[in-house]
């Protein structure tokens, strides 16, 4: 099993936490970050608009999903401490990765930021998928292809929505 070393306050028993505690938050932040950057750019969003969208996602959606995860785990009668640790892991992972997209858009011209965000997000998704595939004992390349195809569909849909809104409203 793949393990990540974390601060001692996050340890669960044996001194490390399974990658699965971070996989939901990382996937959500990466796919949504790429989709927001691409979709808002297609809608002719300014750098400020894209950063605002990313920050709203990083805070509002992150907090609501973290709370949802916590409440769901409580409904499954998971230990309160374990549920709280899972919520913190999800929140921290999503926040950190979401802020990485903000940094990309803040530092690069928007056209370059879109490409950089897709490359960055795809790279994170590939690494995480490879680690999880190895942990599960399934073919790494097939899992990466499947996850990149799904992320590409989300990005394409977001770009399509942004372009459609620009034509319909802009």
Establish if 1 belongs to a structural domain.
Answer: no
Establish if 14 belongs to a structural domain.
Answer: no
Number of domains the chain is built from? 1
Establish if 147 belongs to a structural domain.
Answer: yes
**pLDDT for res 84:** 81
pLDDT of residue 11 exceeding 80, the answer is no
Establish if 110 belongs to a structural domain.
Answer: yes
Instruction: State the residue range of the domain holding 76.
Output: 19-168
pLDDT digits (tens, 9 = 90+) for 93-126: 999 999 999 999 999 999 999 999 999 999 999 9
Establish if 66 belongs to a structural domain.
Answer: yes
Establish if 11 belongs to a structural domain.
Answer: no
Establish if 84 belongs to a structural domain.
Answer: yes
The residue whose two tokens read 């292809």 is 145
Establish if 9 belongs to a structural domain.
Answer: no
| The two structure tokens encoding residue 84 | 């709280």
pLDDT digits (tens, 9 = 90+) for 73-85: 778 887 778 778 8
């Amino acid at each position: 099993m793949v393990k990540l070393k974390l601060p001692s306050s996050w340890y669960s028993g044996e001194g490390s936490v399974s990658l699965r505690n971070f996989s939901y938050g990382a996937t959500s932040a990466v796919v949504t970050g790429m989709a927001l950057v691409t979709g808002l750019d297609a809608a002719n969003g300014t750098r400020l608009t894209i950063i605002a969208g990313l920050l709203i996602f990083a805070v509002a959606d992150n907090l609501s999903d973290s709370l949802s995860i916590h409440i769901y785990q409580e409904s499954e009668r998971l230990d309160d401490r374990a549920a709280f640790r899972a919520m913190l892991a999800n929140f921290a992972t999503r926040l950190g990765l979401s802020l990485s997209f903000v940094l990309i858009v803040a530092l690069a011209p928007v056209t370059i930021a879109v490409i950089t965000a897709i490359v960055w997000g795809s790279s994170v998704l590939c690494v995480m998928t490879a680690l999880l595939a190895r942990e599960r004992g399934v073919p790494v390349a097939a899992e990466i292809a499947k996850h990149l195809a799904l992320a590409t569909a989300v990005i394409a849909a977001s770009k399509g929505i942004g372009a459609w809104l620009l034509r319909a409203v802009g």
